Amino acid sequence: MNDKDLSIIIVDDLQFSRIVVKSALKKAGYSGVRLADSAHEALRMLEEQPADVVLADWMMPEMNGLELADRIRQNDEEKGIYTSIILFTANEGIEYLVEAFEHGVDDYLRKPPNPLELAARVSAAARIAMMQNDILETSRQMEHTIQRLQKTALIDEVTGAGNERMLITELDANLQEAATRNGGLCLAMIKLNNLDQIEDDAGISDKNEVLISVFRRLRRTVRPTDVITRLGYDVFGIIMNHTQIGSFKMNALDRIMAAINQRPFKTESTDHKISSSIGVYYFDGQNDEAISSTEMLELTQNNLTKAIAQGDNSIIS
């Protein structure tokens, strides 16, 4: 897509500010610009037609820019798309920047924005949106491929993730590759600590909706080549293969934890918050003695047990 063909929504309760930003973008060659005088109006526009970039004022009545960002991220998650978000603010200080990023904002500009900087930031935000949407489309294609594998009984019927049989099959193959090519292999097991309470309180349908959403968040968080499986009632397993020793970073696990914790899981009846524990084992194909998939599962399970004992949102490796 050409940058100038972007779909852009400008959200500001002040008409003058909306017109100034639209005029600057028009001069830069952007034609697909819509104006919203409130966050609610912007959400209605997004329902009618998705946007590549939303530019919103931080301070607005009824629903501010951060709250709007939360709603957009929730809607994106439900629809399987990605919208880039830029906030305008008069606030200064790193704490405001951190707060904005925590709410899923991609970038922010101080008011009034410089026209040249505005156009450049919009172009960069559009690239982020296109890249994320390409990844989501790849994930959808991979999900379709996985669905075709259901005939071989490797798929969890509820979530569409692999099942334990797939994990063992993939683990055997990846362990052999890591050992022969001196690579690394990480197995992470993630337990959803309060899934049974959700089923008790809201029923099986809500529980299954949460499981499906967890799988989708994990799929967006890890690499397309990583294997995600559901190993039991409330446990997911992820295989992360690394061709070079040391290329695995522990912050990948922090991202997985953050993906689960970032916002409640929305179902038809209500929103549910989930806590989790993660057990990890890393096999070093260059320095470790060869192990079987069964042994690696046991070692990872032991670390998961320790993480559960340590408390919610613990990671043990």
6: which 2 tokens? 């972007």
> Judging by DSSP bridges, how do beta strands 53-57 and 107-110 pair with one another?
unpaired
Identify the pLDDT of residue 121: 92
66 pLDDT higher than 60: yes
151 pLDDT higher than 60: no
- Three-state DSSP class for residue 315: strand
How far apart CA 54 and CA 84 sit, in angstroms, is 6
151: which 2 tokens? 């005939």
Assigned architecture for domain 153-316: 2-Layer Sandwich (3.30)
pLDDT bin (cut points 50, 70, 90) of residue 124 is: very high
How far apart CA 85 and CA 83 sit, in angstroms, is 6
- Three-state DSSP class for residue 217: helix
166 pLDDT higher than 80: yes
Per the rule left: phi > 0, alpha: psi between -120 and 50, beta: everything else, 158 is alpha
Q: Which CATH number among 3.30.1490.270, 3.40.50.2300, 3.40.50.300, 3.30.479.10 corresponds to the domain 3-138?
A: 3.40.50.2300
51: which 2 tokens? 């946007």
Identify the pLDDT of residue 48: 93
Q: At what angle do helices 164-180 and 293-310 cross, to 10 degrees?
A: 110
Identify the pLDDT of residue 55: 96
- Provide mean pLDDT across the span 234-256: 82
Q: Do domains 3-138 and 153-316 have the same CATH topology?
A: no
Residue 112 CA: distances (Å) to CA of 8, 17, 109: 18, 8, 8
How far apart CA 286 and CA 184 sit, in angstroms, is 8
Lowest mean pLDDT among 195-209, 246-260, 297-311: 246-260
Identify the pLDDT of residue 189: 96
Q: What percent of the chain has pLDDT over 90?
A: 52
Identify the pLDDT of residue 152: 59
The ranges assigned to domains in the chain are: 3-138, 153-316
Q: What residues form DSSP beta bridges with 87?
A: 56, 108
Identify the pLDDT of residue 110: 86
Closest to 316 measured CA to CA, from 282, 269, 285, 271: 282
247 pLDDT higher than 80: no
pLDDT tens, position by position, 73-122 = 999 988 889 999 999 987 777 887 888 888 889 998 988 888 999 999 99
* Mean pLDDT for all residues in the chain: 88
pLDDT tens, position by position, 19-33 = 999 999 999 999 899
